[in-house]
């Protein structure tokens, strides 16, 4: 016979899953975010787009990110609909630093760890009614372990790329408010999610499906689906095409070119299979888990319609919001197991399965994105001293006049506060005159876009870029201090001699 858990011990266990474990996870997420930024592992695309837009909005200029014009062929405000920048401007804008936005990315991931067990508690309370058993603690503990290794959570956090990642905990909070029938709080959460990007709108449709399919809240669900659909159509078919036309950058929605329903089905099916595999096929256990999986249909449909290779590769920015419903599916799968096995059996099975899954995920590619593994790896980074010198170098850069074009290597870009004419250094786009330019590259920062467009830190691409800039007719190397190489346009010696001298003194450090 199973003995009852003493009240004081049970209370301590609840505190563990409600507060202590989420707090530890949040610390790792925030710590990992900061260390990634300090190690120059976060690239301009797309972190630099958003932080530059926030800086420009805060300074009252516009909603632009200048380097999107070079690589995307259109202004960024016509590329994505991101009203969230206005809400983030007072938080991030005053700081000439990428760290506030980076900390927000870690905080967003950590916030989900706090919301998730509370959501599990509500799910159990609704299922058990007056026969509360305390089993929610077991479910919450297992789900928290899986959450800490869950690819749709970890990859978006690790990339620090999109606003959708910032509002993912807000979507999870919206689910909780939906269960508690707190309508004004639900409306506020949905409003914030819609402000992130047009791609966030389908998540509100997912939420509406969840209300209809699992909570039988048909009116609320239909309202959410209607608002989501109307917002998405208005933004993609009216607002963004109008903004592109206004900017003289073409017509139509920017991502219409990637629509391809008939092709790439080998990649699309692999994507679906991988998504289930990263969820350990748990969304297939039980009716409610399957219904939660069905709620991701708007995003699964986007994959079916898309010919965008980055989506098929599971780069992260397309899994963050639907990941909320996959986590809910995992919760219901655990509850399904509890309802069909004897307590003495599932109390052994669920913890053992959770630990085994965590070990397997840690040993695979998913482990690379785990925040604890990230912190451990970056604390022992072999280039830590070079990174410190590089941070000092960038921190002592002079203020650039608005007339100067600054081209920064992608991994350096987020650290260069210059929201005027600032571009990603890309040798494929810099064959023309650069007389009014400053170019900054480094062998210790991310090289995305620098030569061949690959991610990570590539010494080969750095050397290729350095050879290109050394031979460029418009540029001269100020000085190479070992961690950064700075070039200036030759005409700047005549037009801005003080700036060139300041860069020479800085580069000599």
**DSSP of 451-474:** SS---S--HHHHHHHHHHHHH-TT
The tokens describing 236, both together, are: 């993609």
In 3D space, the residue among 83, 88, 93 whose CA is nearest the CA of residue 56 turns out to be: 93
The Cα 433–Cα 401 span in angstroms is 19
CB neighbour list of residue 420: distance below 8 Å, 6 or more residues apart: 66, 400, 402, 404, 406
The tokens describing 506, both together, are: 């800085």
The confidence score (pLDDT) of residue 366 equals: 77
The Cα 82–Cα 87 span in angstroms is 10
The Cα 249–Cα 87 span in angstroms is 27
The list of the chain residues with pLDDT below 50 reads: 1-9
Identify the burial level of 49 via C-beta atoms within 10 angstroms of its C-beta, where 0-12 means exposed, 13-18 middle and 19 or more buried: buried
The Cα 337–Cα 44 span in angstroms is 44
Q: What is the tens place of the pLDDT at every residue in 361-381?
A: 988 877 788 999 999 999 999
Cα 471 from chain centroid (whole Å) = 37
In 3D space, the residue among 502, 506, 499 whose CA is nearest the CA of residue 484 turns out to be: 506
Handedness of CA 455, 423, 193, 99 (dihedral sign): positive
Q: Which helix (H) or strand (E) covers residue 27, if one does?
A: helix 21-38
35 neighbors 105 (Cβ within 8 angstroms): no
Q: pTM for the complete prediction? A: 0.93
The Cα 439–Cα 350 span in angstroms is 55
The confidence score (pLDDT) of residue 181 equals: 96
In 3D space, the residue among 401, 421, 419, 396 whose CA is nearest the CA of residue 486 turns out to be: 396
349 neighbors 337 (Cβ within 8 angstroms): yes
Residue 71: strand, helix, or coil? helix
157 neighbors 107 (Cβ within 8 angstroms): no
């Amino acid at each position: 016979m199973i003995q009852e858990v003493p009240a004081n011990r049970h209370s301590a266990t609840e505190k563990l899953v409600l507060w202590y474990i989420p707090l530890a996870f949040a610390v790792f997420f925030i710590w990992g975010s900061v260390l990634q930024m300090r190690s120059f592992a976060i690239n301009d695309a797309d972190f630099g787009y958003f932080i530059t837009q926030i800086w420009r909005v805060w300074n009252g200029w516009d909603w632009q990110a200048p380097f999107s014009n070079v690589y995307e062929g259109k202004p960024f405000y016509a590329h994505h609909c991101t009203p969230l920048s206005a809400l983030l401007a007072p938080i991030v804008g005053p700081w000439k630093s990428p760290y506030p936005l980076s900390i927000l990315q870690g905080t967003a991931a950590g916030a989900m760890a706090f919301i998730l067990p509370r959501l599990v508690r509500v799910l159990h309370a609704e299922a058990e009614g007056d026969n509360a058993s305390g089993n929610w603690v077991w479910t919450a503990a297992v789900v928290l372990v899986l959450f800490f290794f869950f690819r749709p959570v970890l990859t978006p956090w690790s990339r620090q790329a999109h606003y959708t990642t910032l509002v993912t905990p807000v979507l999870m909070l919206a689910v909780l408010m939906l269960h508690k029938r707190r309508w004004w709080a639900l409306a506020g959460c949905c409003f914030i999610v819609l402000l992130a990007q047009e791609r966030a709108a389908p998540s509100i449709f997912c939420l509406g499906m969840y209300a209809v399919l699992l909570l039988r809240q048909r009116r609320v669900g239909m309202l959410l689906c209607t608002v989501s659909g109307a917002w998405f159509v208005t933004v993609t078919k009216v607002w963004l095409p109008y903004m592109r036309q206004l900017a003289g950058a073409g017509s139509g929605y920017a991502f219409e070119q990637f629509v391809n329903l008939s092709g790439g089905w080998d990649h699309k099916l692999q994507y679906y299979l991988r998504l289930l595999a990263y969820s350990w096929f748990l969304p297939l256990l039980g009716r409610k888990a399957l219904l939660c999986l069905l709620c991701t249909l708007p995003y699964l449909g986007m994959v079916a319609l898309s010919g965008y290779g980055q989506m098929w590769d599971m780069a992260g920015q397309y899994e963050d919001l639907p990941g909320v419903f996959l986590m809910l599916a995992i919760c219901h799968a655990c509850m399904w197991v509890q309802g069909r096995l004897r307590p003495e059996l599932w109390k052994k099975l669920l913890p053992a399965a959770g630990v085994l899954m965590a070990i397997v995920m840690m040993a695979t590619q998913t482990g690379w994105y785990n925040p604890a593994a990230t912190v451990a790896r970056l604390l022992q980074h072999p280039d830590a001293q070079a990174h410190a010198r590089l941070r000092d170098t960038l921190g002592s850069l002079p203020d650039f006049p608005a007339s100067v074009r600054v081209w920064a290597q992608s991994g350096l870009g987020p650290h260069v506060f210059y929201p005027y004419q600032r571009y990603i250094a890309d040798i494929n786009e810099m064959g023309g005159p650069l007389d009014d330019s400053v170019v900054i590259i480094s062998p210790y920062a991310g090289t995305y876009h620098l030569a061949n467009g690959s991610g990570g830190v590539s010494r080969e691409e750095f050397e290729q870029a350095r050879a290109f800039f050394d031979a460029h007719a418009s540029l001269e190397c100020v000085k190479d201090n070992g961690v950064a190489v700075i070039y200036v346009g030759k005409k700047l010696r005549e037009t801005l001699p003080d700036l060139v001298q300041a860069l020479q003194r800085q580069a000599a450090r």
